[in-house]
Amino acid sequence: MALAQLLFGVANFSGHLPVTFERRLEDNPSLDSYYPPEGSSRVVYKNGVFVGYRGFQQTKISPLFPFGFALSYTQFEYSNLRVARRAEGGAKAPPLPNHSRTAADAIYTVTFDVKNVGHRAGADVPQIYVAELRPTVPRPPMELKGFAKVTLEAGAKRTLSVPLDQCAFAYFDSATHQWRTNRGDFDILLGSSSAHTPLKTRVTR
């Protein structure tokens, strides 16, 4: 019944992909790590941080369906992207769920508008990516650091805010076994998937 409702438009698609689908098997950045060499039972992990969408971005290979991709019977438009730094001594924003282990305070708040520009109600998941412009260690071109889910009627618009904590800018230093954050410029990108980030702004840490 649920499938029929989706196919006939009674219900709207709202899910976003948590993985990347390659066009060809050989496009997958982890292909040479899938199986052990002949005569061995040891699988060598070669990708480091460049797995999933990070690997496709690093190799500049366009996937069939990118990370975060979604289908819908309506369309969403993003606008008015801005980033505000939390004032010292101001109210603390909650840490991002995927960074709850650090209990770090949010240091930036990313705010933007989402509008349903189609003719059907639907849900969307705008995604926030962070890119370090001059990294001192190999880092992905950009990494997902936050997201928000919103359900809008046709023509409706809403302003959303996503907090970014210290971990959104950090990398793990394998030599010292600790997280580090470089000083410098970082791009904050907003989009509907890792392959579609139409809005961008910049912060300097």
pLDDT of residue 87: 62
pLDDT at residue 92, rounded to an integer? 46
Residue 174's pLDDT is 85
The stretches in the chain having pLDDT less than 70 are: 6, 8, 87-105
Return the number of other C-beta atoms located less than 10 Å from residue 29's C-beta: 21
pLDDT in the model for residue 158: 97
pLDDT for position 105: 64
Domains of the chain (ranges; CATH) run: 76-204 (2.60.40.10)
**Residue 45 class from Cβ within 10 Å (0-12 exposed, 13-18 middle, 19+ buried)?**
exposed
In a 13 Å sphere around the CA of 23, the CA atoms on its Cβ side amount to 5
**What pTM value is reported for the model?**
0.86
